[in-house]
Structure 1
Amino acid sequence: MWRNIASNAVSFLVVALFLLGGIIVWGRAEYTSQGPLDQAICLQVKPGSNMRRVSNDLADQGAVSSAAIFRMGADYEEKTSQLKAGSFLVEPGTSMSEIVETVTKGGASTCGTEVVYRIGVNRVSVQVRELDPATSRFVERAEFNPDEDEVPAIYNDMKAQADTRFRIALAEGVTSWQIVNAMKSMDVLEGEVAEVPAEGSLAPDSYEVRPGDDRAAVVARMEAAQEKRIADAWAARDPDLPIESPEELLTLASIVEKETGVAAERRQVASVFVNRLNQGMRLQTDPTVIYGITKGEGVLGRGLRRSELRAETPWNTYVINGLPPTPIANPGLASLMAAAQPDESDYIFFVADGTGGHAFAVTLAEHNANVAVWRQIEAERAAESEATTGDN
């Protein structure tokens, strides 16, 4: 009898172990296989939260098939204690193991609210926007000028949320003074910048920042990024350029940056200035004259006067030979590469063509014809503007 009981016990144990093994295999498969989510969601993990709350939230939103398996998988991988606060984008079909990895690896939030401090050539603005998980596109919630407009309540609300991301976006062609001056009004930053960095030494780009970051440290990141870009462009430069140093390359790139906003034209514009340098011609470019007036501290806001085109300043390329002594703005990577590798052309003239781009010419006669066309466009636009004003 005892022998039968022992035999049955062993049999039950084997069956139990077999079933347990099957459950473990099934659980692992559930944990690592494609999840049930059919539309992206933004998972918010609040400070002080835990895996139980996160797993239940995921189950409620249909992102996991089992909150218990999610927790057990996180425990098995020893990641339960590594949970990070933030807002995380969960794509359709994401497995439980991938979600655990997302919420425990750290780093910036990947969805939710974002505050972008935009420093443009003509305008500084603060944009509050929120990612729509369904479309993966940001929806603007508010935008304002921090120096002129009343600060909207939503900005202060979002700024106080732990998972809000903050970025500084520098437009290509802004000056170093504009950047440092604009950063003074960014109330998420602390500290001061002792002096304005050298013109051209800051890389136009998007920079993630956190509340409490030091302004000088953020500027140092911009300088390091631009230093690498300049070095890369200098290393890749055409060997026969009439440029003797990375500093001169940077200056040429800044002029290219200010002369055109059309990406496809940058190398053509660069070729004009390279051809002029090779032929010993003056560059005769208006942005350098403007820089001689403003020193990069703001926008001129009007057309140049004839007297200013004749005025002697170190940057007036209608008066001086060759390049000006410093850059006139912070050029982006595309302009640096255009200066390093310009098109091969015979162009030595260009003028606006009315479309936002330029008409290029080899001879003075061709250039004069292009200028005449541009003057006609200007006259027609002025007449239209006057007519519109009169109607009002």
Structure 2
Amino acid sequence: MADAPPARRGRILRLLAGLLLTLAALAASAYGGFRWALAEYEAPGPLGEERAVVIPRGAATGTIAQRLEEAGVIDNARVFLAAAWVTSEAGPLRAGEYAFPARASLRTVLETLRSGRTVQRRLTVPEGLTVAQILALLEQAEGLTGSVAPPPEGSLLPETWSYSWGDTRESLVRRMREAMDQALAEAWAQRAEDLPLASPREALILASIIERETGVAEERGKVAGVFVNRLRRGMPLQSDPTVIYAVTDGAGVLDRPLSRADLVTDHPHNTYRNRGLPPTPIASPGRASILAAVRPAETDALYFVADGRGGHVFSRTLEEHNRAVARLRAIERERRGTN
């Protein structure tokens, strides 16, 4: 270029200057685009309040973007797709139900989807339900999938259970059974001496009767003591809940008072007709009732009846018991008269 004519050198210099200016402009544009993209990535999103969104298994990134846009979590599905592609090394987007906070940025949305920290749903199974009643709860629980064969009566531990959207009913039943086995084993290991119970299963059967007999926590041990006393003496347990289980064919709920005909029903679970424990549990007992069955309260009572106020009156003799029954009948007549 040193030997080039001045006019030619001038053109070359202008071309170089133009090229440099173009490169500078492209760099500035790229930098501006980067800053814009970063601002979009970090900017608060459109969501006004926390919302849960279910991402189906096997959903493509485009499907996820569309679902998030429809739910109001993101402004623009295309921008989300670009951000997901640029940050793909951070990991895949996972299926499940996710809770997105209000004003969640693209960064927060993507980090949430990659975290696998799904919404934890809860199902409360009350103490004293039959297997049929528990399976009905599972059937109604939103987010659980699949069917499950009925497990043995009394084999499911009643508690509040957590699960995620898409979990199977079978997996939750398996967890309930394992928890019941563990609770029963732990209780049996600390059982009182000389119990008239031959196995953990018999303890479970007795616990199920205790559970259905009283909802008063401080009475469980004494109710257990009464039944243990009757078992030791060879007396029939005469437990109304076992008759209800018999006449309802395992449903465990009766929409009328028991009748005299019910009490003589010929059924293995009827503890008015049959001595000893029934052949199976009549419900799913909680931990407190299981512990009461293996560590009953020391008592000389052989009878108990409702006191009309939510608890029970315990009696040592049939004469005392009959007087308590008469008082209960008087309370019931008085209530009927005032209604």
Deviation string, structure 1 residues 180-224 (Cα, Å, up to 9, x no partner): 12322334111110x211011000001111111111111001101
2:313 aligned counterpart, secondary structure? strand
1:168 aligned counterpart, secondary structure? strand
Q: Distance in 2 between matches of 1:294 and 1:245?
A: 27
1:302 aligned counterpart, secondary structure? coil
Q: Are 1:265 and 2:228 an aligned pair?
A: no
Structure number with greater Rg is: 2
1:204 aligned counterpart, secondary structure? coil
Q: CA 1:368–1:107 in structure 2 vs 1: closer, same or farther (change >3 Å)?
A: farther
Q: Are 1:170 and 2:148 an aligned pair?
A: no
Question: Which residue in 2 is equivalent to 1:279?
Answer: 233
Q: Distance in 2 between matches of 1:377 and 1:277?
A: 31
| 8 Å contact from structure 2 (residues 221, 297) kept in 1 | yes
| 8 Å contact from structure 1 (residues 351, 371) kept in 2 | yes
Residue identity in the other structure for 1:218: L
Deviation string, structure 1 residues 335-356 (Cα, Å, up to 9, x no partner): 0000010001101000001110
- The percentage of aligned residue pairs carrying the same residue is 48
Q: Are 1:305 and 2:259 an aligned pair?
A: yes
Question: Which residue in 2 is equivalent to 1:9?
Answer: none
Residue identity in the other structure for 2:192: D
Deviation string, structure 1 residues 358-383 (Cα, Å, up to 9, x no partner): 00010111111111111111111111
Question: Which residue in 1 is equivalent to 2:248?
Answer: 294
Q: Are 1:255 and 2:209 an aligned pair?
A: yes
Question: Which residue in 1 is equivalent to 2:136?
Answer: 181
Q: CA 1:269–1:190 in structure 2 vs 1: closer, same or farther (change >3 Å)?
A: same
TM-score by length of 2: 0.66
1:172 aligned counterpart, secondary structure? coil
Residue identity in the other structure for 1:192: S
Report how far residue 43 of structure 1 moved: 8.8
| 8 Å contact from structure 1 (residues 350, 361) kept in 2 | yes
Q: Are 1:216 and 2:170 an aligned pair?
A: yes
Q: Are 1:237 and 2:237 an aligned pair?
A: no
Residue identity in the other structure for 1:167: R
Q: Distance in 2 between matches of 1:276 and 1:350?
A: 12
Question: Which residue in 2 is equivalent to 1:389?
Answer: none
| 8 Å contact from structure 1 (residues 242, 277) kept in 2 | yes
Instruction: Find 2:155's aligned residue among 201, 204, 215.
Output: 201
| 8 Å contact from structure 2 (residues 131, 154) kept in 1 | yes
Report how far residue 107 of structure 1 moved: 8.1
Q: CA 1:45–1:306 in structure 2 vs 1: closer, same or farther (change >3 Å)?
A: closer
| 8 Å contact from structure 2 (residues 247, 265) kept in 1 | no
Question: Which residue in 1 is equivalent to 2:292?
Answer: 338
Q: Distance in 2 between matches of 1:373 and 1:87?
A: 59
Q: Distance in 2 between matches of 1:265 and 1:352?
A: 12
Q: How does 1:122-201 map to 2 (within 5 A)?
A: 163=119, 165-193=120-148, 195-201=149-155
Structure 2 stretches of 5 or more lacking a match?
1-48, 56-63, 65-89, 102-111
The structure with the greater share of residues assigned to strand is: 1
1:184 aligned counterpart, secondary structure? helix
Q: CA 1:87–1:271 in structure 2 vs 1: closer, same or farther (change >3 Å)?
A: farther
Q: Distance in 1 between matches of 2:215 and 2:327?
A: 20
Deviation string, structure 1 residues 261-299 (Cα, Å, up to 9, x no partner): 000000000000000001111100100001111233262
1:211 aligned counterpart, secondary structure? coil
Residue identity in the other structure for 1:189: L
Question: Which residue in 2 is equivalent to 1:378?
Answer: 332
Q: CA 1:366–1:197 in structure 2 vs 1: closer, same or farther (change >3 Å)?
A: same
| 8 Å contact from structure 2 (residues 188, 294) kept in 1 | yes
Q: Distance in 1 between matches of 2:259 and 2:308?
A: 21
1:218 aligned counterpart, secondary structure? helix
2:140 aligned counterpart, secondary structure? coil
Question: Which residue in 2 is equivalent to 1:141?
Answer: none
Q: Are 1:349 and 2:295 an aligned pair?
A: no
Q: Distance in 1 between matches of 2:283 and 2:269?
A: 12
Deviation string, structure 1 residues 91-115 (Cα, Å, up to 9, x no partner): xxxxxxxxxxxx9xx7867xxxxxx
Question: Which residue in 1 is equivalent to 2:200?
Answer: 246
Question: Which residue in 1 is equivalent to 2:321?
Answer: 367
Deviation string, structure 1 residues 28-53 (Cα, Å, up to 9, x no partner): xxxxxxxxxxxxxx9999999xxxxx
Deviation string, structure 1 residues 320-344 (Cα, Å, up to 9, x no partner): 0100000000000000000010001
Q: Distance in 2 between matches of 1:223 and 1:309?
A: 32
Question: Which residue in 2 is equivalent to 1:323?
Answer: 277
CA RMSD of aligned residues (A): 2.7
| 8 Å contact from structure 1 (residues 285, 317) kept in 2 | yes
Report how far residue 243 of structure 1 moved: 0.2
